[in-house]
Amino acid sequence: MNKEALVKSLQEIAGKEHVVFAEEDLVCYAFNARSRRMSTPPVAAVSPATAREVSQILALANEHGVPVMVQGRGSCLADNLTIERPGSLLLSMNRFLKLEIDPDTLTAVVGPGVITHDIKKAAERHGLFYPPDPASFTYCTIGGNVATDAGGLQCVKYGTTKQYVAGLEIVLPDGRIIRTGGKCIKDVAGYNLTQLFVGSEGTLGVVTEIILKLIPLPEGKKAMLVLFDNLENAARAISRIMISGVTPSVMEYMDEVIIDAVEDVAHLGFPSHAQAMLLIEVDGALSTLASQVEIVSDVCNRLGAIEIRVANSSKETENVWMARRICMQALTRKAKGRFSGDPAAPIDKLADCVLKVKDLGLKHSIITACYGHAGDGNMHPCFLFNNDAEKERARQASGEFYEFVVSIGGTVSAEHGIGHEKPHYMHLQFGDAQMDIMKGIKRLIDPMGIMNPGCLFDEARHE
């Protein structure tokens, strides 16, 4: 199908003002947070407003073999949304903005284009809580969260997006519209198609509506910052806290390179000999907060914590979270580039992981750093480089770390997904039989291979 005919058909479906096709305008759509700028812009971008419009667009694309990328806000970190094929169509979900809270069933019905932060705020007005909180929650969409099964700081206690998805409306690549799940608390009828689509990274269809579960808002919370002069002890404290009877709502980890980078930028007065830092939050009934803090402090003290700061004011709490929020940006002052990622290991293996990152740094003569949502075993190991030779060694070290994580029972992706960045790591985690099942599912639902080709699997078409 040539560009002119495609644009005309899209304009008939979605309206002229919702189709972008000038090259200079399309530049604004050709980005994601990992690649910043994609080399191949889409041939057109369309912003439909209803499932019916999406259905007509997909049926058209399917008939003519036009590759389709679904875009939320492009904040993905595994190149989940990368236009590799010339002639691709970008489908923006920014007009799907339905947001209804149903306090009687503890659910919300939302459009995929709603910003995650807005759902949290709307739920709070009813005394309810939508817990998933990717660090990007003030600008990413719930559709992107569902498609990547986004995690976040509070996953350690509350789980990832999938735990809160009760039902979906999905447009399949051939244009059929299906509804999965619903507002029932219990529902075991048939295969769980809702969860099949959660985390499918726009490779199986377009999510056009989401039913989310909500829970009562915790009464209060308390933030703490714990410093260690020994990396291993900090990592061990994480698994000990998890079995102490207190489940923190947040437990983040940073090593000394990150602490130093944050201190350079924010001047929070961290001791220069600190090797690791835990940022912890406990929540629940107000009457339980002090005892939760005491139990966590006790575990940390027994493992040789050199300083424990408990936030007693909103300013102190803000400092704790500022340290976490700026660490990615602060690290850019340490090196020109880095290989990073989102592997996870069982929490009792966390100490082995942080030591492995250090070892790989020494082996390949590069600087390394490590931070992450450590309470759920999810790390962001960083292999830094300042020139081409270091870049090659950092790439090698990063690959070796993924192999190590899988060898100890971990996963190559805890939250960002596989995207176009990590298909070559899939074989580390999955054998031939599992890969065959996944490719078979893709072939069944998307036989023309139009949905986000190249994402998850290396091949574009699925003969």
Ligand X SMILES: Cc1cc2nc3c(=O)[nH]c(=O)nc-3n(C[C@H](O)[C@H](O)[C@H](O)COP(=O)(O)OP(=O)(O)OC[C@H]3O[C@@H](n4cnc5c(N)ncnc54)[C@H](O)[C@@H]3O)c2cc1C
| Rounded-to-integer distance, Cα 462 and Cα 439, Å | 8
Nearer to ligand X, 207 or 289 (CB): 207
| Rounded-to-integer distance, Cα 158 and Cα 163, Å | 8
Q: Which stretch binds ligand X (CB under 6 A): 199-207, 252-260, 278-286, 402-410?
A: 199-207
Nearest residue to 142 (alpha-carbon basis) of 166, 170, 111 = 111
The CB-of-323 to ligand X minimum distance in angstroms stands at 15
| Rounded-to-integer distance, Cα 366 and Cα 359, Å | 10
In contact, 342 and 223? CB cutoff 8 Å? no
Tokens 């009792």 sit on residue:
348
Among the listed residues 41, 48, 131, 134, the single contact to ligand X using CB under 6 A: 134
In contact, 84 and 425? CB cutoff 8 Å? no
Helix, strand, coil percent content, the chain, rounded in steps of 5: 40, 20, 40
The CB-of-226 to ligand X minimum distance in angstroms stands at 21
For the chain, how many helices (H) and strands (E)?
Answer: 16, 18
The CB-of-417 to ligand X minimum distance in angstroms stands at 7
Answer yes or no whether residue 201 interacts with ligand X by CB under 6 A: yes
Kindly report the CA angle at 223 between 219 and 229, in degrees rounded to 5?
A: 155
Answer yes or no whether residue 456 interacts with ligand X by CB under 6 A: no
Nearer to ligand X, 32 or 317 (CB): 32
Q: Which stretch binds ligand X (CB under 6 A): 64-72, 98-106, 332-340, 391-399?
A: 64-72
Answer yes or no whether residue 135 interacts with ligand X by CB under 6 A: yes
Which residue type occupies 50?
A: T
Query: CB-based contacts of 332: which residues, under 8 Å, 6+ apart?
Result: none
Nearer to ligand X, 133 or 390 (CB): 133
Query: CB-based contacts of 6: which residues, under 8 Å, 6+ apart?
Result: 43, 44, 60, 64, 66, 89
Answer yes or no whether residue 82 interacts with ligand X by CB under 6 A: no
Q: Which stretch binds ligand X (CB under 6 A): 140-148, 248-256, 271-279, 308-316?
A: 140-148
| Rounded-to-integer distance, Cα 455 and Cα 463, Å | 16
DSSP summary character for residue 217: P
The CB-of-77 to ligand X minimum distance in angstroms stands at 4
| Rounded-to-integer distance, Cα 448 and Cα 314, Å | 54
Q: Which stretch binds ligand X (CB under 6 A): 202-210, 315-323, 343-351, 390-398?
A: 202-210
Q: Which stretch binds ligand X (CB under 6 A): 65-73, 102-110, 288-296, 393-401?
A: 65-73
In contact, 132 and 212? CB cutoff 8 Å? no
Among the listed residues 55, 56, 107, 148, the single contact to ligand X using CB under 6 A: 148
Answer yes or no whether residue 206 interacts with ligand X by CB under 6 A: yes
Answer yes or no whether residue 180 interacts with ligand X by CB under 6 A: no
Q: How buried is residue 440: exposed, middle or buried, by Cβ count under 10 Å (0-12/13-18/19+)?
A: exposed
| Rounded-to-integer distance, Cα 253 and Cα 427, Å | 29
Answer yes or no whether residue 93 interacts with ligand X by CB under 6 A: yes
Answer yes or no whether residue 368 interacts with ligand X by CB under 6 A: no
Among the listed residues 452, 453, 454, 456, the single contact to ligand X using CB under 6 A: 452
Nearest residue to 73 (alpha-carbon basis) of 46, 94, 48 = 94
Tokens 């402090």 sit on residue:
297
Provide the mask over 99-118, with x wherever binding to ligand X is found by CB under 6 A and - wherever it is not: -------------x------
Phi, psi torsion values for 31, nearest 5 degrees: -150, 160
Answer yes or no whether residue 156 interacts with ligand X by CB under 6 A: no
Provide the mask over 31-50, with x wherever binding to ligand X is found by CB under 6 A and - wherever it is not: -xx-----------------
Answer yes or no whether residue 145 interacts with ligand X by CB under 6 A: yes
Q: Across the strands, what pairs with 370?
A: 381
Answer yes or no whether residue 72 interacts with ligand X by CB under 6 A: yes
Answer yes or no whether residue 353 interacts with ligand X by CB under 6 A: no
In contact, 146 and 210? CB cutoff 8 Å? yes
In contact, 178 and 193? CB cutoff 8 Å? yes
Answer yes or no whether residue 233 interacts with ligand X by CB under 6 A: no
Provide the mask over 387-426, with x wherever binding to ligand X is found by CB under 6 A and - wherever it is not: ----------------------------xx----------
Element (H, E) at 196: helix 193-197
The CB-of-385 to ligand X minimum distance in angstroms stands at 20
Among the listed residues 144, 372, 377, 381, the single contact to ligand X using CB under 6 A: 144
The CB-of-152 to ligand X minimum distance in angstroms stands at 4
Among the listed residues 150, 212, 320, 345, the single contact to ligand X using CB under 6 A: 150
| Rounded-to-integer distance, Cα 319 and Cα 429, Å | 38
- By CB under 6 A, how many residues form the interface with ligand X? 36
Answer yes or no whether residue 282 interacts with ligand X by CB under 6 A: no
Report the interface residues with ligand X, using CB under 6 A: 32-33, 69-77, 80-81, 93, 112, 134-136, 140-141, 143-145, 147-148, 150-152, 201-202, 206-207, 328, 415-416, 452
